Amino acid sequence: MHEDVQMTKPGSCPKCGMELVETEVRKGTNHTRHAEYGMKPESTMSFWGKFKMSVTMTMGMEHTGLAGREMARLMELDIRNKFFFALLFSLPIVAYSPLGVEFLNLRLPEPIPTSWILLLLTTPVFFYSGWIFLYSTYIAIFKQKTLNMAVLIAVGITAAYVFSIALTLLGSRDSYYEAAALLITFVLFGHWMEMRSRRGTTDALQALFELVPPQARVERNGKEEIIPTAQVQLGDRVVLKPGDKIPVDGEIIEGETAIDESLITGESIPVAKTIGDKVIGGSINTTGSVKFKATKIGKDTALSQIVKLVEIAQSSKAPGQKIADRFAKYLVIVAVGGGVITFGVWFFILGQPLLSALTFAISTIVIACPDALGLATPTAVAVGTSLGAKHQILIKDAPTLEQVSKIQAIVLDKTGTMTEGKPTITDIIPARGFTKEGLVRLAAAAEAKSSHPLSRAILEEAESRKIKLSKEVKKFVNLAGHGVEAVVEEKRILIGTVRLMRDRNVDIAALQKDIDTLLRDGKTIMVLAVDGKVAGVIAAADPIKPTAKRAVERMQELGIEVALITGDNQKTAAVIGRQLGIERVFAEVLPEDKATYVKKLQNEGKFVAMVGDGVNDAPALAQADIGIAIGAGTDVAIETAKVVLMKSDPADVLRAIRLSKATVTKMKQNLFWASIYNLLAIPIAAGVLYPRYGIFLRPEISALLMSISSIIVATNAVLLNRAEKELITV
């Protein structure tokens, strides 16, 4: 089930022992190998194959991808089976043990000596249910050269089991069989509960994969045929009919439709699509029939990338967890050393009987198991990232999830981030000798090759006025951050910012009053010059997103400084800033200079986040301590950012911060509980309270307390879901 395991010959998986079977490589790919050996499906495994898988599983195996989640499911099932097996045998073991006889007053028939009955009942528990701890200890010590929780458990159960056998062979009625059996039972129960709690965090990922239809309708050799989605190749012409789920990512080449992308992007309204528009695998075609060219398949699709981001985040370790892991290794040494010292003190110094001294020693080793410490942050991270994914908030790794809570300043890109990014033309003011229609006709022709939102606004205005655009357009140049220039009908057209006009020595005095008025109203202006002379000014307004102002207010309430950055002129930027309640505004900033302003805030000693949605934001996203791509952004922005907000909603910035703070709180609570538990439990298990108060813990009770501690940590992490209501409220 480990998809990363690929062999050139048959054999067993080095991670879990499952049999490898030959798999064919799909035709049409550029793989150099024609066949390789991968994981054999569980449904086709023999009894001995399943048994081999069971005995080669280790605690703490990592599982990612679809195959990984299947392996995690199999492990959970195996742990559950081992637990019930141990529980079934533990009941009669307890009944025959001193615990059952002396405290429960049970009297069962004894066809053979009790100690031999206990040996026969405990042995299958030790070697079947307890094997996972023994094998994990072997892997940890001899393969990985490390110490972990399994080592402590193995030491505890082996000491209790072997010493009990020695007592049985010597004819003694005393034993620790029930301690070994119950220790195995309780620890398995704790791990089963932990795995169940963590499984829920991956269900959402499985649901995402299920969005992809099993079959696709493609056009090959002029005929439509239905094939498995896995067989769709790059460049295939895929046919969509109303109601169809989209199998892979692509670009529409024929027809028009509306596509429901809500399950991917969170946008509730179907998005109109026409030739040239992109479609996302997993979304639903609602109205028209279209054809699209497959541009991304398999692991390269947007859906697969989303899942990959979440999986990486869930499997990565937060800084706090790395410290806890190091501490846990030392705790193993302390536990074993503490057990030896405890035995020495009670047996050699205080003169207690061998059984009593051994009881204290084994209890000390068992209760010191750092299981809860190891679960403290991974469970919180798994729940936090899953909760974020549910609301289209993708956090790339655990350190980022933790660091988002530290944000002190946020730089927000204006266009497309805080505004709709779909400006509309509001004013057209021609200079003497020009008309509105003439101004729009020249401007639209010059802007036709630009993809800037303002360019699209001019083109839409020309379309609404039914103005036919000139095809005599030459020497088009996009002046990033300034505007465009081109030759239209043999006239040199320059359209862009006031700054551009000044740089090109264009006199705009005749329209200065109109420009000032438009700027005071918070509008974005584009000045048009023809052959070096001002021809007019076109103004556009980009409405602020409904949730933008509220989100800014809430971020400021958290003590976060909010800044606005834009390429717009100072006056327009200032108006937008006032409308949003943002005092610090960086205006007339060129794309390549955005990173400089982020660094300026960092130099003030602030932990800075940058929020943007375009290619020009990538350097600033990389410069920031936390880069946040909003509205899915561009491929470049997503690659650079550490947090991806699939919806174009600035409120999701606030939600990401709240999620991070809630997750970090759970991490701290879990780490505190796990640390306090060990600090208090170890001395009690060692018998510190026994001389004065007669309080001591038998190994099986220590195992129960250790398991309860792990369950508490896992349950506390799951309670993070209660933060969901706070997350969605702005």
**What is the torsion angle, in degrees rounded to the nearest 10, for the CA atoms of residue 439, residue 441, residue 443 and residue 448?**
170
pLDDT-derived band at 471 (thresholds 50, 70, 90) equals confident
CA dist., res. 40 & res. 63, Å (int): 16
Sign of CA pseudo-dihedral 174, 180, 183, 188: negative
pLDDT-derived band at 332 (thresholds 50, 70, 90) equals confident
CA dist., res. 444 & res. 457, Å (int): 9
Q: Give me the DSSP letters along 612-636.
A: E-SGGGHHHHHHSSEEEEETT--HH
Per-residue model confidence (pLDDT) at position 390: 79
C-alpha to C-alpha distances, 670 to 400, 519, 702, nearest whole angstrom: 19, 54, 20
Give the range with max mean pLDDT: 125-129, 470-474, 495-499, 566-570: 125-129
CA dist., res. 666 & res. 111, Å (int): 53
pLDDT-derived band at 311 (thresholds 50, 70, 90) equals low
Task: Decide: 655 and 401 in contact? Cβ < 8 Å.
Answer: no
Whole-number CA gyration radius for the chain: 34
Considering the chain, what is the average pLDDT of its residues?
A: 80
CA dist., res. 383 & res. 38, Å (int): 30
pLDDT-derived band at 194 (thresholds 50, 70, 90) equals low
DSSP-assigned beta bridge partners for residue 633: none
Kindly report which listed range (23-32, 318-327, 608-617) carries the lowest average pLDDT score.
23-32
In the predicted structure, residue 717 carries a pLDDT above the cut 50: yes
pTM of the model: 0.67
Per-residue model confidence (pLDDT) at position 361: 86
CA dist., res. 448 & res. 454, Å (int): 11
Look-up of token digits 């357009």 = 473
Q: If residue 259 lies in a helix (H) or strand (E), which one and from where to where?
A: strand 257-260
Q: Active-site residue numbers?
A: 413
The rounded Cα 580 to chain-centroid distance in angstroms is 30
Task: Decide: 26 and 9 in contact? Cβ < 8 Å.
Answer: no
Sheet of strand 483-488, all strands in order from the earlier edge strand to the far edge = 424-430, 533-541, 524-530, 491-496, 483-488, 473-479
Structural tokens at position 384: 């936090």
pLDDT-derived band at 177 (thresholds 50, 70, 90) equals confident
C-alpha to C-alpha distances, 414 to 411, 423, 604, 610, 655, nearest whole angstrom: 9, 12, 22, 11, 19
Count Cβ atoms below 10 Å from residue 483 Cβ, excluding itself: 26
CA dist., res. 125 & res. 188, Å (int): 11
pLDDT > 70 in the chain, percent: 81
Structural tokens at position 721: 């879901």
Per-residue model confidence (pLDDT) at position 63: 47
Task: Decide: 18 and 39 in contact? Cβ < 8 Å.
Answer: yes
Look-up of token digits 């280790």 = 58
CA dist., res. 728 & res. 721, Å (int): 12
CA dist., res. 647 & res. 657, Å (int): 16
In the predicted structure, residue 620 carries a pLDDT above the cut 70: yes
In the predicted structure, residue 133 carries a pLDDT above the cut 70: yes
Look-up of token digits 């959970």 = 76
Tell me the per-residue pLDDT of 533-589, one tens digit each, with 9 for 90 and over: 998 999 988 888 889 999 999 999 999 999 999 887 788 888 889 999 999 999 888
Looking at per-residue pLDDT, the higher value among 290 and 32 belongs to 290
Alpha helices by DSSP H, 301-435: 302-315, 319-344, 354-367, 371-390, 398-403
**3-state SS, residue 557:** helix
In 106-246, DSSP assigns E strands to: 215-220, 223-228, 237-240
Which DSSP state fits 287?
S
Tell me the per-residue pLDDT of 24-83, one tens digit each, with 9 for 90 and over: 443 333 333 333 334 445 555 666 766 777 777 776 555 444 445 666 777 888 889 999
CA diameter of the chain: 117
CA dist., res. 477 & res. 470, Å (int): 17
Kindly report which listed range (260-274, 281-295, 409-423, 581-595) carries the lowest average pLDDT score.
260-274
CA dist., res. 341 & res. 335, Å (int): 10
Per-residue model confidence (pLDDT) at position 85: 95
Structural tokens at position 189: 């129960």
Q: What share of the chain is helix, strand, coil (3-state, %, to 5)?
A: 55, 15, 30
- What are the phi and psi torsion angles at 535 (to 5°)? -110, -20
Tell me the per-residue pLDDT of 244-263, one tens digit each, with 9 for 90 and over: 888 898 999 988 888 877 65
Per-residue model confidence (pLDDT) at position 575: 86
Tell me the per-residue pLDDT of 436-468, one tens digit each, with 9 for 90 and over: 988 998 888 888 877 777 888 888 888 888 888
The rounded Cα 474 to chain-centroid distance in angstroms is 47
Per-residue model confidence (pLDDT) at position 298: 82
**3-state SS, residue 561:** strand
Look-up of token digits 């169809």 = 244
